[in-house]
């Protein structure tokens, strides 16, 4: 019997309408499913009706291109190939067509080319030591994500690794505000690739430090004899710890200022520095300045001494 003719007494010269593939959807580029699953909106043919659908695949597995014969699916409009286990980097395209009861074919409907990505991104916070010390509740978190095949797409954040913020476009920086009244906060992040694979959660600890170091200093006697002059202080810091301390000495007559870095002495737990050289017959002022690891700075009051 010739196609497009009579079948069981039905005259039909028009092909069926074209099937429309709805899964994978037309905007799919990447998938994290290793299995091919297809669904289409069926065709119609008012004259002779649909006899069956046929599909075929175009596959690229491990960079080897493959194509197959058309295969009947009867009147089903979806199928899954569970035996197919694709790997990251494999690609496929599904083609579907309809046949009516006089043997006329619709046009071929094609899915987009879908690329398989089953490998999640790897992500880290770019923070040395895993603790971010901040002097303000508003901080910038630096992230670094890498992903094979599809690329990092979205990121989300959490304080408890349970409830996450809505996914937002991935960026290497995220502005984050520590909860009110909290001085130490753990923040989790997850990054999703364009195939929907989630990275393992990563975390960072943010320590808010708004208190400058406390300087406990026993002033040098107002009049002092000889050299060297040793400056000592106990310096304590809440939250982030002492970063550095120095003595700023000002010689009144010569108008010269010296910044003397104080070293921490483990034995007596004091910061100290000696002023060497000839400082006889000088009127001088000094004060101590200390900085914590968050950048908060404190200063002692200024003391006057006369060296004779
Ligand atoms: Ca027809
Ligand atoms: Ca990936
Ligand atoms: Ca502090």
Neighbours of 121 (CB within 10 A): 25
Selecting from 2.60.40.10, 2.60.120.10, 3.40.50.300, 3.40.1390.10, what CATH number does the domain 122-208 have? 2.60.40.10
State the average pLDDT over residues 110-139: 92
Predicted pLDDT at 1 = 43
How would residue 58 be classed by pLDDT, with cut points 50, 70 and 90? very high
- Just give the CATH number of 214-307: 2.60.40.2550
Where are the domains positioned within the chain? Answer: 6-116, 122-208, 214-307
Q: How do residues 14-51 score in pLDDT, each as one tens digit?
A: 999 999 999 999 998 999 999 999 999 999 999 999 99
User: Does the pLDDT value for residue 228 go beyond 70?
Assistant: yes
| Domain 6-116 matches domain 122-208 at the CATH topology level | yes
- Whose atoms come closest to the Cα of 149: which ligand? 2
Give distance in angstroms: CA of 21 to centre of ligand 1: 20
Residues with CB under 5 A from ligand 3 (ion): 209, 211, 237-240, 292
The set of residues, in sequence order, having a beta carbon less than 8 Å from that of 162 and lying 6+ positions away, is none
The predicted model scores a pTM of: 0.72
Task: State both tokens at 48.
Answer: 């002779």
Architecture field, domain 6-116 = Sandwich (2.60)
Give distance in angstroms: CA of 196 to centre of ligand 2: 8
- Whose atoms come closest to the Cα of 46: which ligand? 1
DSSP labels for 220-253? PPSEE-SS-EEEEEEEE-SSS-EEEEEEEEEETT
Predicted pLDDT at 166 = 97
Alpha carbons 201 and 86: distance in angstroms, whole number: 26
Rounded to the nearest integer, the mean pLDDT of the chain is 92
Q: How do residues 232-257 score in pLDDT, each as one tens digit?
A: 999 999 888 999 999 999 999 889 99
User: Does the pLDDT value for residue 8 go beyond 70?
Assistant: no
Cα-based distances in Å from 220 to 214, 223, 227, 249, 304: 18, 8, 13, 12, 9
């Amino acid at each position: 019997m010739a196609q497009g003719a009579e079948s069981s007494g039905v005259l039909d010269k028009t092909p069926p309408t074209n099937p429309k593939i709805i899964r994978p959807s037309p905007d799919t580029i990447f998938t994290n499913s290793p299995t091919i699953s297809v669904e289409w909106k069926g065709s119609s043919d008012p004259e002779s009706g649909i006899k069956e659908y046929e599909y075929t695949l175009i596959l690229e597995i491990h960079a080897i291109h493959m194509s197959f014969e058309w295969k009947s699916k009867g009147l089903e409009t979806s199928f899954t190939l569970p035996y197919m286990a694709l790997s990251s980097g494999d690609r496929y395209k599904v083609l579907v067509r309809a046949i009516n009861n006089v043997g006329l074919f619709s046009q071929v409907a094609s899915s987009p080319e879908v690329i398989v990505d089953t490998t999640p991104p790897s992500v880290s916070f770019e923070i040395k030591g895993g603790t971010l010390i901040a002097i303000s509740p508003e901080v910038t978190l630096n992230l670094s994500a890498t992903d094979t095949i599809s690329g990092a797409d979205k990121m989300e954040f959490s304080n408890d690794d349970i409830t996450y913020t809505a996914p937002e476009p991935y960026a290497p920086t995220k502005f984050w505000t520590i909860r009110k009244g909290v001085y130490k906060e753990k923040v989790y992040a997850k990054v999703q690739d364009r195939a929907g694979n989630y990275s393992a959660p990563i975390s960072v600890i943010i320590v808010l430090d708004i208190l400058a170091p406390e300087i406990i200093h026993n002033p040098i006697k107002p009049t002092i004899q000889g050299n060297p002059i040793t400056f000592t202080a106990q310096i304590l810091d809440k939250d982030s710890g002492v970063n550095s301390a120095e003595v700023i000495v000002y010689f009144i007559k010569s108008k010269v200022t010296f910044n003397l870095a104080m070293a921490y002495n483990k034995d007596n737990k004091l910061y100290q520095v000696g002023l060497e050289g000839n400082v006889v017959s000088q009127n001088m002022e000094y004060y101590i300045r200390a900085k914590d690891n968050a950048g908060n700075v404190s200063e002692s009051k200024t003391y006057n001494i006369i060296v004779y």
